[in-house]
Each structure stands twice: as structure tokens, then as C-alpha cells.
Structure 1
Amino acid sequence: MTNATQPPKRKGGRPSLSEVAKIDARILVAATALFLEHGVDGTTFEAIANKANVSKPTLYARYSTKSDLFEAMIRANVTSAMASTADLSEGLSTEDTLRLVGQKMIREATKPVPLGLMRLYITEAPRHGVLIREVDYIGREAAVAMISEALVPTLNSDAIHHARLIADKFIDMVFIPYLMRMLLGDTKSSLDQRVDDTMSCLKALQLIN
């Protein structure tokens, strides 16, 4: 007897939405890996299709050029790059919260893949300058929002404005300089010392107690 509740097997045709999402994800993962290893010019659509285990027509149906795929790859990685603040303990001071969130954000940004992508962005800036500037703005705004969200509960009056001001200063004084040192291959720079110096400066500016 046939089980009437059993769903019918797919007989070809269009893939389901979940299957499409999995294909899209495989393509972007494959493109990221190959662009990092060989650069954009050194990577072919055939290599990306092979690594993603899709056909070339499937790849071309989504991205007509490598520039289109490069843009999609950048946007996907920027969207997923922000560290979570969900595991922060409650009741921390503004200084302790900033220290924990800031260091977590920096450590995520300086892992091999994000750092490699930043080098790739710099290499591709002459051809994709508008995109790189846009992504830089999106990334900065996401970082400011993440830090601000964590700081607001530790502040009193005018919390949002105050939190964003602290976040901006932290990014300019710690995140960007430290990231640049790492991009230049300096693995000995002390993150803790830079954070400590910045905390002293923020206290002097009366931005944190």
C-alpha cells in the first residue's frame, strides 16, 4: 500500500528556493577562496564553477562578469563579518564593554580570511573604487552600530549620540591603525597597549568615566 502522506519525489525542473540558496552560497564561498588564492584576474569562471560544483551556465545565469561576482562576494562577506555582542555580560562599565567589544571586533577582522579580503579590496580599488568606498562605508557604519548598541546600556543621558561618538573615536584610534599594521605584516603590534592608550585618551576627553 502506498503511503498517501509521503511527498512526491522531484522530477527535475526548477530547483527549490532552498536549493537555489545553497547553490548561491557555494558559488560565493568558492569565489572567495579562489579570489584570495589567485586574485581576480587569475581566477576563471570555469575554476569557480568546478570548485562550487555547478555548471558554467548556472554560474553565468547569476553573474555575467567577474566584476558582478566580485561585487556579490564583497557584499556577502561584509554582511557576515560583524562579530556578535550577544554574549556580553550585563552590568559592565562603559570602559569594560568597549574593551571587550572592540577587541572582539578587531580579532574577527584580523582573521586570515577577512584580512586577505581587505588586501584584495586594496588591490582591486583602481577598478572597483566606487564599490570599495561604498563597502568601506557600510562596514564602518556596521561597526559603529555594533559598538554603540553594546555601549548604550552603560550610559545615562543622550546615550545614542554619546555611544556613537565613542565608537567613532575607537574605530579611528584603535581599529583602523591596528588593522593597517596587520595589513603591512606587523604581527607584533600590541593590541592591548593600543586599547589602553585609547582608553586613557577617551577619559581625558571625558567621553568615558
Structure 2
Amino acid sequence: MPAACPEKSNRRRGRPPASQAGQFDERILEVATSLFLDRGFGRTTLDLVAQHAEVGKSSLYARYPSKGALFAAVVSRSIQTMFDHLAPVPQGLSLVQRLQAVGEALIEGMLHPRCVAFMRITAAEAGNFPDLALTAYQDSFDGAVAYVLMGIGETDLGAVSPGLTALAQRFVEVTVQPVSFQAAFGVDASLLRPRASVYVHDAVELLHKKIAMTGWE
């Protein structure tokens, strides 16, 4: 869970210089992440984010004109952070071993408390922000598929055959999505983690022959 929002200080608020714009945006998103996780979507306001991030309201509204826009940026950042922290797959493994490692790493990433929390918040707000919910789902799914393809040695994702992409998609559907669904509905991650290797093993067994036929070995 992100650290608590920073205490107030005497730092001057307002529009940051161009050289500090990246740090300014990062501070806003970090504070907004903490507030959304701690207070939920409904009880978080842009004014509250500006207060805790110690930034001018005009600067915040210039970047994020609505709470939905800020929430979308926070969700996108959370998804990207998860994929950035996934461990690379060790080299020199068999196809089965690579798929096992990839599947377990994806499940572990999806079970991070921050990821689970945002899955729940996004699902709860799907009625109000259907496009955001769909985009968050698609970004997570596409990122997982790309990780599977890269983890087993596909370096040029633009050149991957449709058949191979479909198999990677099916692998994610069989391994990651059932666990994510359970976690989003409240099943404790400590109960799901021990099952992860079994889920992945079963998926590998199911898809191995089809994958081998594509020359993925």
C-alpha cells in the first residue's frame, strides 16, 4: 500500500518550472494514488489532491480537468508500474519452464495489494466510467500477453503471427484472469498464491501441444 499522504509544508504552490514538470506530475499521481486507495473514488476530490500534493489548483486542473481524468492517469500508472516490476524470465529454460515462470510472475504481479485495490475500484466505477474500465482491462490484458510473448523469446512483437498471439492470449485467459477475478471479489491473496503454480501447470499442459505446433519450442 502506498505511503500516507505527505504533511503540509511551506513549499510554494503554483505552476512548476519546465525542468521540474516531471517531478510535479509524479508527486500528483503518487498522492492521488494514496488518496484513491485510502478514501476510495467517491471521497477523493481534486481539491483534496491539490492540498495534499501541495500544488496550485489551477496547475492541477490544467493537467487533469476532472476527477475521472486523474483517476484514469492513476490507473494507467499503476498498471505500468506492475509490468515494470515483473522479473525477466531466466534464459536457458525449456518452453514448459518458461511458460511456468511467466505465468507465476504475472499472477504474483496481479496479486499485489495495489493492483487488487485498483481492480476493485475500477470495477465499482465501471458504470460511471465504462470507457476507463474497459481501457484498464485491455491495457492489463495486452500487457500480460506481451509479457508472455517477450518472456519466451519474441523480441519483435509487431511481427508475431496472429496464431501465436492468440495462443498467448489464451494462456493469459486460462492462467491469470481466474486468479484476478477471485482476488477482485475478495479471496485472500495468501490463499491464491499457493494455487498459482497449479493453475499455470494445468494451463501449460492444456496448451503445450498447440504451442509446440507453432514452432514456439
Confirm or deny a common fold (TM above 0.5): yes
Match for 2:102: what amino acid?
V
Which whole-Å deviations, capped at 9, do the CAs of 1:166-202 have from their partners, x for residues lacking one? 3212211110001111122223231122112112212
Cα distance change on mapping 1:177 and 1:146 into 2, 3 Å:
same
> Cα offset for 1:89?
2.3
Q: SS in structure 2 opposite 1:82? A: helix
Would you say 1:58 and 2:59 are equivalent positions?
yes
Cα distance change on mapping 1:16 and 1:55 into 2, 3 Å:
closer
Cα distance change on mapping 1:165 and 1:151 into 2, 3 Å:
farther
Aligned to 2:10: none
Aligned to 2:201: 196
Distance 1:99 1:173 in 2: 13
> Cα offset for 1:44?
2.0
Distance 1:160 1:85 in 2: 24
Aligned to 2:114: 113
Q: SS in structure 2 opposite 1:152? A: coil
Cα distance change on mapping 1:102 and 1:197 into 2, 3 Å:
same
TM superposition outliers: structure 1 runs of 4+ over 6 Å: none
CA contact (8 A) 1:35 1:43 kept: yes
Distance 2:27 2:180 in 1: 29
CA contact (8 A) 2:111 2:183 kept: yes
- Provide the aligned length of Structure 1 versus Structure 2: 192
Greater RCO (CA < 8 Å, at least 6 residues apart): 2
Match for 1:22: what amino acid?
Q
> Cα offset for 1:74?
2.0
- For structure 2, the 5+ residue unaligned runs are 1-13
Distance 1:159 1:23 in 2: 38
CA contact (8 A) 1:148 1:167 kept: yes
Aligned to 2:23: 22
Alignment of 1:1-209 (within 5 A): 15-83=16-84, 87-152=88-153, 160-161=161-162, 163-187=164-188, 188-189=191-192, 190-203=195-208, 205-208=209-212
- For structure 1, the 5+ residue unaligned runs are 1-12
Distance 1:115 1:126 in 2: 19
Which whole-Å deviations, capped at 9, do the CAs of 1:7-35 have from their partners, x for residues lacking one? xxxxxx97433411111111111111111
Distance 2:160 2:138 in 1: 23
Farther-moved stretch of structure 1 (133-142 vs 25-34)? 133-142
> Cα offset for 1:98?
1.0
> Cα offset for 1:97?
0.7
Task: Kindly report the root-mean-square deviation, in angstroms, between the aligned alpha carbons of the 2 structures.
Answer: 2.4
> Cα offset for 1:72?
1.8
Cα distance change on mapping 1:39 and 1:16 into 2, 3 Å:
same
Percent of aligned positions that are identical: 28
